[in-house]
């Protein structure tokens, strides 16, 4: 994927202790794309390159087509669907391998978007709740005076790549057992494999493949995402077995319980790569096995992803 979104993304953030931060996203890490009926806007602000400290803002909106000054209500535990009028928004702290999202539970996003010119602009404000590692309790942050002006939809993320127009390869798969504070089987039915020059949020810094999967309950109305597992792997790694702690700058695994958007980044484990696409490309197969332990950012819950067997097929074939 060649990132080509440009523009500005700004806000004022007030922490629970009354301190304030001015957020100004770095133009190198703007994103505007569609995926599975959702429009995502995101950016990243560099705080400390050497210590890998960043701030991030993510906004998910329904794909309602071209709209002008349309207002969406920020709500936690929501999957923005066409016509719902709901939005998901989050401000996040990323420090090394720790990723601490503060998911919005109240607020609003105003959007104007023109898909012909590939431009989006608008404003936002919300209150988000989350916690950072070592904190005794969660805190509420206030994001105010937010505004964005973005141009250029990321390649590989425009509407022609939505599931309604794409048949997943019959070989795409990701199965695992989830144990610990969550106990369930995982068998994904949504998949994506792409190559990225960098990571907007927590994860591998530098060129990498990202294999993304989710399980969507297709029997519910509307369809509901239950959970997600994604694996990001530096594209200079060759088929072999790797320790996640020793290669934390090269491998990033994440489990997300979508009910409330609870993110569990991996803290330890192993990854075996059996097959990988060519360096700098997603046109190939990413296949392997991963086992990892993951924790909520506040350490209150721990889960284990056991025997995570994945096969992501990025080879383009004739229809």
53 vs 12, 98, 174, 263, 295, CA distance in Å? 18, 10, 31, 18, 19
> Which residues of the chain form beta strands (DSSP E)?
6-14, 20-24, 31-35, 38-48, 53-62, 67-74, 86-95, 98-114, 119-130, 139-151, 173-180, 184-187, 190-196, 208-217, 224-234, 241-243, 251-257, 262-275, 285-295, 302-313
Contact 132, 94 (CB under 8 A): no
- Same domain membership, residue 174 and residue 64: no
Q: Is the pLDDT of residue 157 over 60?
A: no
Confidence of residue 82 (pLDDT cuts 50, 70, 90): confident
- Same domain membership, residue 130 and residue 212: no
Confidence of residue 237 (pLDDT cuts 50, 70, 90): very high
- Same domain membership, residue 125 and residue 181: no
- Same domain membership, residue 190 and residue 305: yes
Q: Is the pLDDT of residue 79 over 70?
A: no
| Residue linked to tokens 């997603």 | 282
Task: Return d(Cα 50, Cα 159) in angstroms, integer.
Answer: 37
In sequence order, the 6+-apart residues with CB closer than 8 A to the CB of 136 are none
Confidence of residue 214 (pLDDT cuts 50, 70, 90): confident
pLDDT number for residue 96 = 67
- Same domain membership, residue 193 and residue 119: no
**Could you list the residue range(s) of the whole structural domain that residue 209 is in?**
167-313
Residue 159 lies in a domain: no
Which candidate, 128, 129, 120, places its Cα nearest to that of 148? 120
Q: What percent of the chain has pLDDT over 70?
A: 84
pLDDT number for residue 239 = 95
Higher-confidence residue: 229 or 319?
229
- Same domain membership, residue 10 and residue 97: yes
- Same domain membership, residue 53 and residue 99: yes
Q: Is the pLDDT of residue 123 over 90?
A: yes
Residue 25 lies in a domain: yes
Report the CATH number that the domain containing residue 25 is assigned in CATH: 2.40.128
Helix (H, G, I), strand (E, B) or coil at 97: coil
Which candidate, 242, 92, 261, places its Cα nearest to that of 253? 242
Domain total in the chain: 2
- Same domain membership, residue 15 and residue 64: yes
Average pLDDT over residues 265-290: 93
Confidence of residue 194 (pLDDT cuts 50, 70, 90): confident
Q: What is the pTM of this model?
A: 0.61
- Same domain membership, residue 104 and residue 56: yes
pLDDT number for residue 317 = 45
Task: Return d(Cα 14, Cα 21) in angstroms, integer.
Answer: 6
Q: What is the dihedral of CA 262, 272, 172, 315, to 10 degrees?
A: 120
Task: Return d(Cα 151, Cα 157) in angstroms, integer.
Answer: 14
Task: Return d(Cα 37, Cα 161) in angstroms, integer.
Answer: 10
Task: Return d(Cα 32, Cα 140) in angstroms, integer.
Answer: 27
- Same domain membership, residue 146 and residue 22: yes
Q: Is the pLDDT of residue 260 over 70?
A: no
Residue 318 lies in a domain: no
Residue 319 lies in a domain: no
Q: Report the DSSP beta bridge partners of residue 56.
A: 44, 92
- Same domain membership, residue 185 and residue 143: no
Residue 297 lies in a domain: yes
Residue 157 lies in a domain: no
- Same domain membership, residue 133 and residue 34: yes
């Amino acid at each position: 994927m060649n990132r080509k979104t440009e523009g500005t993304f700004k806000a004022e953030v007030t922490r629970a202790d009354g301190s304030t931060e001015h957020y100004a996203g770095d133009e190198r890490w703007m994103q505007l794309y569609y995926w599975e009926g959702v429009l995502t806007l995101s950016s990243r602000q560099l705080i400390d390159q050497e210590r890998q400290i960043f701030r991030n803002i993510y906004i998910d909106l329904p794909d309602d087509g071209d709209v002008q000054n349309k207002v969406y209500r920020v709500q936690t535990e929501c999957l923005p669907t066409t016509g719902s009028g709901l939005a998901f928004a989050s401000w996040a702290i990323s420090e090394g391998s720790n990723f601490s999202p503060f998911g919005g539970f109240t607020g609003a996003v105003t959007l104007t978007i023109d898909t012909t010119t590939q431009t989006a602009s608008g404003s936002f404000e919300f209150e988000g709740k989350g916690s950072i590692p070592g904190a005794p309790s969660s805190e509420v942050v206030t994001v105010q005076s937010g505004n964005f002006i973005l141009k250029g939809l990321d390649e590989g993320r425009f509407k022609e790549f939505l599931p309604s127009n794409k048949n997943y390869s019959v070989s795409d798969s990701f199965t695992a057992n989830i144990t610990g504070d969550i106990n369930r089987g995982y068998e994904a039915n949504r998949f994506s494999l792409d190559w990225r020059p960098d990571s907007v949020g927590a994860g591998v810094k530098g060129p990498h493949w990202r294999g993304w999967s989710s399980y969507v309950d297709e029997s519910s109305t509307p369809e509901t995402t239950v959970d997600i597992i994604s694996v990001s792997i530096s594209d200079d790694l060759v088929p072999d077995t790797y320790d996640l702690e020793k290669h934390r700058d090269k491998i990033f695994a994440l489990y997300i319980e979508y009910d409330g958007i609870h993110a569990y980044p991996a803290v330890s484990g192993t990854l075996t790569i059996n097959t990988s696409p060519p360096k700098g490309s997603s046109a190939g197969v990413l296949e392997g096995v991963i086992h990892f332990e993951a924790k909520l950012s506040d350490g209150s819950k721990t889960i284990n992803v056991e025997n995570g067997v994945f096969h992501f097929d990025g080879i383009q074939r004739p229809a």
